[in-house]
């Protein structure tokens, strides 16, 4: 039995233990957005560091940041072999709205071939796969086939604000041929896919203020601007009737894809009917002139994520509220600068501010450029080969509507590309109630990661991957 086969055998024998790993990890409510969960974030970091040590990694560290700590580990016993940096995050989204969960968000619950719980798909399940594969190699063969560094952060869900400084500070420790990301996701459970692009991100919040205090809407209604009306006017004015973003300068630098690229997207096995069945939306809607996949992968957006003001409880309260609020995120494509977008939106809001209210804009440091993995990158070629070996057919190459802000950091600070290699699936309700992860994906992911490391180590000229950028 070859080395790889022994490792795969070890992994196959550990499926129950692998699921139990995830149940324990996902039971920790490591919600990075909410201050009350700071102790849980620390518990999750401690748990993960202990799990890495248990895997046989001798160098395991927690790296403080200006926010939540990162967990780092390394195994560098293969001189001359490639070095990869495995990325993932141990923080999770808030569970809101909690009353829509059928099982408690932080009591991970197995039902059939799925486990339900906040973070099981994004990103605790996929992250653990990489750790479990290292564990299997080290306990079966006593070594890994290549050099591996693990960097798991605790702030991905709040925009990885402190990671650029950390990666800059630790750039020598983090040096690698490329990043293999355990975050991301495949687009369907049936067809293997490889994500080769991600949209960027820019964010802001704004508040509209009218009277200094809440007023009685009977007594005062009609004689003062209602901040809720002003907010609605502003939000309505952010898009044109054809679904484009109305903000001046928003599309600066955005280029159209080539006819071949658009045709390749059209050839993917995707239908609007299937998409509507999956999401339960009554119809597709978006920028005129683009297909649904183009709207998701290739076109920038401006989306409201939250809107609130006045009385939102049971029954009626006749209030003319003092203020109203909105949270906005934009998804960006190559050519757009995330640092410039919030200012453009603020200028638009100020230019269109209705009378009788004032505007307060809070830009976010939450930002990321869009990303594109070069076509000839060796990490991309190995990924195609491994996915074909595990699933019996070559993967589709797809885009990603979401953003992973650290891609830009890895590219700019470490000078390396990132290969997405997550076994989450896009329909697993991440960021929503009843998030789930498919249990069979644990074993598939472990096989794929084990093969990936071995294949990359064996690849003649793998060390040339530092020049990967020149391939495309």
Torsion from C-alpha of 152, 156, 377, 177, nearest 10 degrees: -30
Spatial contact of 183 and 286, defined as CB atoms under 8 Å apart: no
Binding characters for a copy of itself, 306-345, by CB under 8 A (x = yes): xxxxxxxxxxxxxxxx--xx-x-x-x--------------
Site for a copy of itself in 182-241 (CB under 8 A): 199, 201, 203, 210-226, 228-229, 231-239
Residue 238: CB minimum distance to a copy of itself, A = 8
Residue 33 · residue 157 · CB < 8 Å: yes
Whether the CB-CB separation of 65 and 2 falls below 8 Å is answered with no
Interacting residue with a copy of itself among 50, 76, 165, 304 (CB under 8 A)? 304
Residue number with CB closer to a copy of itself (61 or 429): 429
Q: Binding marks (x or -) toward a copy of itself, 442..471, rule CB under 8 A?
A: ------------------------------
Computed from CA positions of residues 147, 16, 440, 12, in that sequence, does the dihedral angle turn out positive or negative?
Answer: positive
Minimum Å distance from CB 420 to a copy of itself?
A: 13
Residue 292 has a CB neighbour count (10 Å cut-off) of 16
Q: Judged by CB, which is closer to a copy of itself: 147, or 329?
A: 329
Q: Based on CB atoms, which residue is closest to a copy of itself, 141 or 268?
A: 268
* Region of 8-16, 106-114, 257-265, 298-306 interacting with a copy of itself (CB under 8 A): 298-306
Find the shortest distance in angstroms from Cβ 25 to a copy of itself.
Answer: 21
CB burial string 443-459: b at 16+ within 10 A, e below: bbbbbbbbbbbbbbbeb
Q: Which of 401, 464, 466, 469 binds a copy of itself (CB under 8 A)?
A: 401
Residue whose C-alpha is closest to residue 153's, from 409, 411, 427: 409
Q: Report the residue from 3, 46, 61, 287 that binds a copy of itself according to the rule CB under 8 A.
A: 287
Binding-residue pattern over the window 159 to 178 for a copy of itself, x denoting contact by CB under 8 A? x-------------------
Residue 212 vs 259, nearer CB to a copy of itself: 212
CA 256 to chain centre: 25
Q: Which of 46, 337, 385, 429 binds a copy of itself (CB under 8 A)?
A: 429
Site for a copy of itself in 4-63 (CB under 8 A): 32-35
- Measure Cα distances from 148 to 134, 190, 346 in Å: 9, 30, 43
Q: C-alpha angle 30/405/183, rounded to 5°?
A: 60
* Phi, psi for residue 228 in degrees, rounded to 5: -70, -40
Q: Which stretch binds a copy of itself (CB under 8 A): 80-88, 304-312, 369-377, 443-451?
A: 304-312
Neighbours of 79 (CB within 10 A): 7
């Amino acid at each position: 039995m070859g080395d790889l086969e022994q490792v795969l055998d070890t992994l196959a024998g550990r499926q129950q233990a692998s699921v139990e790993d995830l149940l324990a990890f996902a039971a920790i409510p490591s919600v990075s957005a909410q201050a009350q969960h700071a102790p849980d974030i620390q518990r999750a970091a401690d748990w993960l560091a202990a799990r890495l040590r248990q895997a046989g990694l001798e160098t395991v560290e927690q790296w403080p940041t200006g926010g939540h700590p990162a967990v780092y580990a390394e195994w560098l016993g293969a001189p001359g072999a490639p070095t990869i940096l495995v990325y993932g995050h141990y923080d999770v989204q808030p569970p809101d709205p909690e009353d829509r969960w059928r099982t408690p968000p932080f009591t991970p619950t197995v039902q059939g071939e799925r486990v339900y719980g906040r973070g099981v798909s994004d990103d605790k399940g996929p992250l653990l796969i990489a750790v479990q594969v290292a564990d299997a190699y080290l306990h079966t063969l006593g070594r890994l086939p290549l050099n591996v560094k693990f960097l798991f952060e605790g702030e991905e869900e709040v925009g990885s604000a402190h990671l650029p400084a950390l990666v800059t500070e630790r750039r020598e420790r983090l040096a690698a041929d490329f990043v293999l990301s355990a975050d991301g996701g495949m687009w369907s459970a049936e067809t293997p896919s490889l994500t080769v692009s991600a949209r960027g991100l820019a964010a802001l919040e704004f508040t509209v203020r009218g009277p200094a205090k809440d007023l009685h809407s009977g007594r005062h209604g009609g004689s003062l601007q209602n901040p809720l009306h002003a907010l609605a006017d502003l939000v309505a004015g952010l898009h044109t009737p054809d679904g484009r973003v109305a903000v001046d300068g928003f599309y600066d630098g955005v280029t159209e894809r080539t006819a071949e690229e658009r045709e390749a997207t059209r050839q993917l096995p995707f239908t609007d009917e299937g998409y509507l069945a999956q999401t339960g939306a009554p119809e597709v809607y978006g920028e005129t002139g683009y297909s649904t996949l183009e709207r998701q992968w290739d076109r920038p957006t401006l989306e409201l994520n939250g809107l609130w003001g006045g009385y939102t409880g049971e029954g009626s309260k006749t209030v003319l509220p003092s203020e109203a609020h909105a949270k906005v995120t934009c998804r960006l494509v190559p050519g757009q600068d995330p640092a410039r977008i919030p200012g453009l939106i603020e200028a638009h809001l100020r230019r269109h501010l209705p009378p009788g209210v004032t505007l307060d804009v809070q830009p976010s440091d939450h930002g990321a450029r869009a990303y594109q993995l070069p076509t000839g990158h060796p990490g991309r070629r190995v990924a195609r080969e491994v996915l074909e070996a595990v699933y019996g057919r070559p993967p589709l190459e797809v885009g990603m509507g979401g953003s992973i802000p650290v891609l830009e950091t890895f590219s700019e600070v470490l000078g390396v590309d990132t290969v997405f290699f997550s076994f989450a699936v896009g329909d697993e309700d991440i960021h929503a109630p009843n998030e789930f992860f498919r249990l069979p994906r644990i074993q598939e992911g472990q096989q794929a990661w084990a093969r990936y490391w071995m294949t990359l180590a064996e690849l003649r000229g793998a060390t040339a991957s530092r020049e990967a950028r020149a391939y495309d």
